[in-house]
Amino acid sequence: MLFTNPAASRRPYDPALQRVMNLAAARESRQWLAGWTQLRRGSTPLHALPHLARQLGLGQLHLKDESVRSPLASFKVLGAPAALLRLVLRQWPDAGWAPADLLAGRHADALAGFTAISATDGNHGRALAAAAQSMGCRCVIVLHAQVSAERERPIRALGAEVVRITGNYDDSVQEAERLARAHGWWVVSDTSYEGYEDIPRDVMQGYGILVDELLEQMPGNPCPFTHVMLQGGVGGLAAGVVAPLWERYGAQRPTFIAVEPQQADCLLQSAIAGRASRATGSVDSVMAGLACGETSPLAWRFLQPAVDHFMTVGDAEAEAAMRTLASGAAGDVPVLSGESGAAGLAGLAALMADPARAAQAGLGAGSRVLLISTEGATAPGVYEAITGRSPASVLQAQAEWMARPLHT
């Protein structure tokens, strides 16, 4: 399904929104995290995919590859650590601590009694656990019934305490909030709710690092992309990308298309209702990072006026997109993209296979499209079962492709 958002408009970035999220704060987060041992040095790659673009009938196609952002293999490592840093600095305003020193564990003694807690589908929890381990504070992660043991093990390995519940992601969010109130802990979540916006805002500012890098990798005016495909979830990543691109390009911003699982369509339902809403399906998808049932109200304030189209894809379409990227069959660089990471390509391929929907979205031979592969093989067993390839074999094929004298 493709739904054109009647509330989207072309106008300068709203000053009220700019006070909440802006490029300056994203750039500051980038500087704070730059020396952290859990992050690679420099920007993640922006791959051109010219052969796949031709196959799909597009002018240009680029992919921002977050699989190599960190050993944690996900863009989430930008959000939770940035938010945890800002939270700690707010709690100790007179301490004069430098973010680099916090991440190096130099104030671990002072933080020994501080506990961060969050619900997760996997990647956000790993990122928060890694940041807490580096800083020396306690971390508790709430996992719902659909989170696999394969995703749980890396969280425990980073020193976090895991609480298991029955129910889905939204139930785990409520349990994390209950535990935080009961014990005096701090929720570090990427989804907002009434009375809780500062930390989700800081998470989204961390995601804005992606755009700060993109503006260096492909500078220019007008925007080098006509369309940006955005993974859905609660809306945090989408808002973290939309806001800085809207700030930079104003009324000349690219067309934004949000993609989410058919059974976890909370953003689509929000666009139809005109307010932050819940999904209509089971919220159980192979796209685990997008299997969210309720839109973040804070994120929706940015998405409602700027995302032009909302769409859903099936699990089989996401799996096919994973295989396309892994194989490099079109002749482009092979990319290690996980279930949620490939959702943008799944949505794009579905649109280009339907001329009417492609026309509705303004996609065609002159379009210059950006994909964000948000994760690598964060569950290696699931990845290999879907693609028929081990993560190591895809990375080897990528290295061999990159070593060619000419990338043709």
pLDDT tens-digit profile, the chain (408 residues): 899 999 999 999 999 999 999 999 999 999 999 999 999 889 999 999 999 999 999 999 999 999 999 999 999 999 999 999 999 999 999 999 999 999 999 999 999 999 999 998 888 999 999 999 999 999 999 999 888 899 999 999 999 999 999 988 889 989 999 999 999 999 999 889 889 999 999 999 999 999 999 999 999 899 999 999 999 999 999 999 999 999 999 999 999 999 999 999 999 999 999 999 999 988 889 998 898 899 999 999 999 999 999 999 999 999 999 999 999 977 999 999 999 999 999 999 999 999 999 999 999 999 999 999 999 999 999 999 999 999 999 999 999 999 988 655
pTM of the predicted structure, to 2 decimals: 0.94
Distance CA 126, CA 151 (A): 9
CATH of domain 76-199: 3.40.50.1100
Residues 165-199 have pLDDT tens digits of 998 888 998 999 999 999 999 999 988 988 999 99
Buried b (16+ CB within 10 A) or exposed e, 79-88: bbbbbbbbbb
Q: How far, CA to CA in Å, does 4 sit from each of 261, 303, 359, 362? A: 17, 13, 12, 11
Q: Tell me the CATH number for domain 2-74+203-402.
A: 3.40.50.1100
Q: Are 177 and 408 in contact (CB under 8 A)?
A: no
Compute the half-sphere exposure of residue 23: CA atoms within 13 Å on the CB side of its CA: 15
For residues 44 and 50, give the distance between their C-alpha atoms in angstroms, rounded to a whole number.
19
| Catalytic residue positions, numbered | 76, 121
Provide the pLDDT for residue 292: 87
Q: How many Å separate Cα 43 from the centre of its chain?
A: 16
DSSP state string for 191-210: S-BTTB-HHHHHHHHHHTHH
Going by their DSSP bridges, the two strands 2-4 and 309-313 should be labelled as antiparallel
User: Which residues contact residue 376 at a Cβ distance below 8 angstroms, ignoring those fewer than 6 apart?
Assistant: 66, 67, 68, 73, 74, 336, 337, 338, 341, 391
| Buried-exposed string 196-218: b where 16+ CB fall within 10 A, e elsewhere | beebbbbbbbbbbbbbbbbbeee
Place of tokens 């500062």: 198
pLDDT of residue 330: 78
Query: 3-class SS at 62?
Result: strand
Residue ranges per structural domain of the chain: 2-74+203-402, 76-199
Task: For 116-159, write each residue's pLDDT tens digit.
Answer: 999 988 889 999 999 999 999 999 999 998 888 999 999 999 99
